[in-house]
Amino acid sequence: MKWRVILEPDPETGDWAVWCPELPGCVSAGETEAEALENIREAIGIYLSVPYAIL
């Protein structure tokens, strides 16, 4: 399944913020675009594997 993500640079640090609007609270970051995208893929996987009762 594909999820829409928003990738945005931080002008102060040069790092990248990334989040998935359809999954509230599912956010990540990375020093590069590629790292941020890899991290959000992992975050989405974890988000979807956690039972709703814990959220």
Q: Is the pTM of this model over 0.75?
A: yes
The three-point CA angle 24-20-52 to 5° equals 40
CA-closest candidate to residue 27, choices 15, 35, 19 = 19
What is the token pair recorded at 37?
A: 């995208």
CB atoms within 10 A of CB 10: 10
User: CB of 8 within 8 A of CB of 1?
Assistant: no
The tokens describing 51, both together, are 């039972």
Residue-wise pLDDT tens digits, 1-55: 899 999 999 999 999 999 999 999 999 999 999 999 999 999 999 999 977 655 5
